[in-house]
Structure 1
Amino acid sequence: MTMIKMMRMTQRKVERTTIIWKALWIVLLLSMQLCNTDSSTFPRPQAGCNLRNYRMNASTEHCWSNITVPACWGFCQSSEVGTANPPFTIARHKVCGFRTYQNVTFTLLNCHRGYAAEKVVVPSALSCSCTECDTTTTHCEG
């Protein structure tokens, strides 16, 4: 093999390596650009409370069925601020819950042998809002 052929082969290898490195730099720069994108391109989740269908298993002692009801889903703004006086914090923890609802009757068709279908009444959300949890109507988990 002549010296000129060896130099040409080396030059082609260098050119290919250069192209590969340039491609890698472009990929790296593009990925960095995606990571630094402002929130208008990739919006961050905002606090919100909205209706969403919820599928659940409703049951009585003898019957059961899967039912779907409109429910409230989402998250709400909360805050807690320290103070100099007891109880030493002022907290506002709102929950996503029913603003308005109606009771809906469902018939449970899957029953143990010898039992007739039974009916259950389930609250069904009509609208939702962020409110303080009302322990008289809601199981408020703490």
Structure 2
Amino acid sequence: MRMDHRRLYAFLAVLPFVLISTVNSVDPSTTTDCFKHTKMKHIASKPGCQDQVIYVHGCWGRCDSNEIPELEPPYTAAFHPMCYYDTYTTATKTLSNCANGVDPTYTYINAVTCVCKAPSSSESAYAYRPDNYV
């Protein structure tokens, strides 16, 4: 009977370490989920002000997409969601080195939560910028 208690205590002692290491390990090469990135590099550009680097909260990750072949044009039914903000806050930064008479405020959004969803051209700009990550 004592041996069973020792095994139980050993299991309970090791369990938190196993759970912590599992929760904290996200492999970006295999995950298909969205995450909040807390330090994305962005160039704040406004006419009459000097460009300034700011860091914003954005979304990163990979979403599960698919294409189903069809016999009629366009020959596929595609679903390609992207990692996108689900909720966000608005932030304002005061830019330095602005010309006289130019409002130095620059307003942008910060992601609070992220989700995979189908893109909308009215809400998204599609571009690859490798300088976005620090």
Q: Please indicate the TM-score interval, normalised by the length of the shorter structure.
A: 0.5 to 0.7
Q: TM-score, normalised by structure 1?
A: 0.61
Structure 1 residue runs of 5 or longer lacking an equivalent are 1-41
Q: Secondary structure at the match of 1:45?
A: coil
Q: Which residue of 2 aligns with 1:60?
A: 46
Find the aligned partners of 1:44 and 1:88 in 2 and give their Cα distance.
Answer: 30
5 Å-filtered alignment, 1:28-107, equals 45-52=30-37, 53-63=39-49, 64-107=51-94
Find the aligned partners of 2:28 and 2:47 in 1 and give their Cα distance.
Answer: 47
Q: How many residues align?
A: 99
Greater share of strand: 1
Q: What is the CA distance between 1:59 and its match in structure 2?
A: 1.6
Conservation of the 8 A alpha-carbon contact between 2:28 and 2:61? no
- RMSD between aligned alpha carbons? 2.3
Which amino acid letter does the alignment assign opposite residue 111 of structure 1?
C
Conservation of the 8 A alpha-carbon contact between 1:59 and 1:108? no
Alignment identity in percent? 29
Quick one: structure 1 residues 134 and 109, their matched pair in 2 at CA, closer, same or farther if it must change by over 3 Å?
same
Q: Secondary structure at the match of 1:87?
A: coil
Q: Which residue of 2 aligns with 1:131?
A: 117
Quick one: structure 1 residues 89 and 77, their matched pair in 2 at CA, closer, same or farther if it must change by over 3 Å?
same
The structure with the larger Rg is: 1
Q: What is the CA distance between 1:91 and its match in structure 2?
A: 0.6
Q: TM-score, normalised by structure 2?
A: 0.64
Per chain length, whose mean CA-contact separation is higher, i.e. which structure has more relative contact order (CA < 8 Å, sep 6+)? Answer: 2
Which amino acid letter does the alignment assign opposite residue 84 of structure 1?
L
Q: What is the CA distance between 1:87 and its match in structure 2?
A: 2.3
Structure 2 residue runs of 5 or longer lacking an equivalent are 1-26, 128-134
Find the aligned partners of 1:93 and 1:57 in 2 and give their Cα distance.
Answer: 28
